[in-house]
Amino acid sequence: MVSYFFMALAAIQLGLTVATCMPIAIDTQANITYQGIQHNGVEQFLNLPYGRDTGGQRRFSNPELYVFPPNTYAYDATLPGPACPQSMESSLNQSEDCLKLRVARPAGVKEGDKLPVMVFIYGGGLFSGHINNPAYDPENLILQSVQNGLPVIYAAMNYRLNIFGFALSESLRANKSLNLGLKDQRLALEWIQQNVGYFGGDPQRVTIFGQSSGALSVTLQILAYGGSKPIPFHGAIMESTALEPGSTSNITVDTYNAVVELASCNIDHNPQSASSLECLRALPMEQLLNITITQHDSTADQNDGDTYLPTVDGDFLPLASSELTQKGMFPKVPVMIGWTQDDATLFTKTNINTSSDTRDFIHLFFPDLTNATLSALLKLYPSSDFAPTANFSAEFYRSATMFRDMLFVCPSFLFGHAMAQKYRADNETPSVYYFDQNQTVYGNLIKGLGVVHTAELAYVFANFKDLVLNSTGDIHPTPGDFELRKRESRSWSSFANRDRPTLDGHQTLEGWEPAYGSEGGMFDAELYVIGGPHAGISSLDGNGAKFEVERQKLRERCEFLNRDEIISQLKY
């Protein structure tokens, strides 16, 4: 056991205070006691191993379940474990021995209590991210659930990223070792099924939720194996992405090949060869990581940094994600899916000033769009629909809205409606909920950019420490922000408890009903506007449509973007 001094030091780094009584969880089958820390009525276990070290010969290999050495009776989970390789910052502890879980629960919860479990999958473009990011501190999320009378347990897993988790080599395809980061997530979810009961959780009530590439991961866990295997969770929440345009393009294989060249591993003039792969496997972690970062930074302007994407591998993903979706090759689960009002402004070039700039920007990120498609898109998003501000041009907002719909909104309708059809086939009301986040606590820091990507996280985690965007000053939450923080966080944990984000008798978001009824098309849907001056349920257009929703013209724009031929051009 580590000394109390080092426990306290680790807790200070995480913003925690160590209690005098160390919380424990006991694996009664393996006779192992996990030791954690406690603060403010929440107990946390910070580095539970679920997978073996992925370094050495296990680099680029499928994850293997961690097994404790013989005669292990206690495991110290009071210190944060390392992140998976992603950054050269000296302040970030990282290692290939990184497949760890973080579990948090209300104080006093014990085996047999069977609380629902919320499992978070972090975003970061599948290039960066880790479970110790203070923005994902689960303490307040858990406290809000307790105060709402519907307590939850929280878990999150590290998973391999960038080339370590998403290398695309034909040599890996041959032995079914692609999409390793997704397989890491799956192994963690299976570990939770087997072990969360020891921490007081209910393995039959596990809801996975994620943001950005974490939300993509959530969808792909639903689509995994084309629905041919049981899923280790019950429900799902996707924030700012459901399906990923570009995932069937050559982006990831081109990235891998470029890393092979930079590493001088193109030994037999075939970067896809087994020899090239073995050369990368033999490199020191720091060297391979540095090359990976160099390559990533050199192409960031071309693809917004998304250089590693999941691939169709005939195994975990037997078909393209859109095809799996449209064929219904997935299980029926309750889902919440949404985006932020200005989800793509952070990723849109700020020097866009003309219609030609807009066309060039969209074509840069989606090079397979035909000239006819680009022209049709520009007509669907006329410049007259957008107004400049003191900071940005009307064309900037035009580009950002188009980009948002292509990346985040329209694919969400595609998947959400396919899930609704699953429910309708069983004569059930579809348990599908859409949301549009229209309030942010970061407004004074990002003037002109609106309700940006990640804006909902501060409310969901009930965390206003401004640990994501603020580098220049303090945020200034309003009373409305504090009220929304309470209700939004509680709606997320209510969904984990009861498959519904609105519950009578609880302080959740009010009036949030399922998006679809027993009949109707993809866009005969309702979505919930979270925050802003006109919060609440809204039709997409016509009677019952709020101004914030109707002006987005989601029906006509997404009807076009969700056509089969356009999806094919968008490469997903």
> Which residues are marked as active site?
212
- The alpha carbon of 225 is separated from its chain's Cα centroid by a whole number of angstroms, namely 19
**Which run of H or of E encompasses 177?**
none
The structure tokens listed for 20 are 């005098």
Tokens representing residue 37 in the block: 């820390």
Side-chain-side CA neighbours of 130 within 13 Å: the count stands at 21
* Cβ-contact 105, 24 below 8 angstroms: no
Contact 54, 63 (CB under 8 A): yes
Sequence-distant (6+) residues with CB within 8 A of 550 are 538, 540, 541, 542
What string of DSSP letters covers 426-492? TT----EEEEEE---S-TTTSTTS-S-TTTTHHHHTT--S--SS-SSS-----HHHHHHHHHHHHHH
Q: How far apart are CA 441 and CA 342, in angstroms?
A: 14
Helices assigned H by DSSP within 51-196: 139-147, 162-166, 170-174, 180-195
**Coil, helix or strand at residue 123:** coil
The residues near 184 (Cβ < 8 Å, ≥ 6 apart) are: 51, 63, 99, 157, 158, 159, 160, 165
Helices in 153-264 by DSSP H: which ranges? 162-166, 170-174, 180-195, 213-223, 251-262
Q: Which helix (H) or strand (E) holds 150?
A: none
Q: How many angstroms separate the CA atoms of 386 and 406, rounded?
A: 17
State whether the Cα torsion 282-283-285-288 is positive or negative.
negative
Locate 441 and state its tokens.
């606590």
Strands 37-39 and 42-49: antiparallel
Pairing type for strands 201-211 and 235-239 reads: parallel
**Cβ-based burial of 155 (10 A; exposed 0-12, middle 13-18, buried ≥19):** buried
State the number of CA atoms in the 13 A half-sphere of 82 facing the CB: 15
User: In Å, what is the CA distance from 427 to each residue of 151, 468, 517?
Assistant: 31, 43, 10
As a whole number of angstroms, the distance between CA 43 and CA 30 comes to 22
CB 78 within 8 A of CB 144: no
The token pair that represents 186 in the structure block = 């799956």
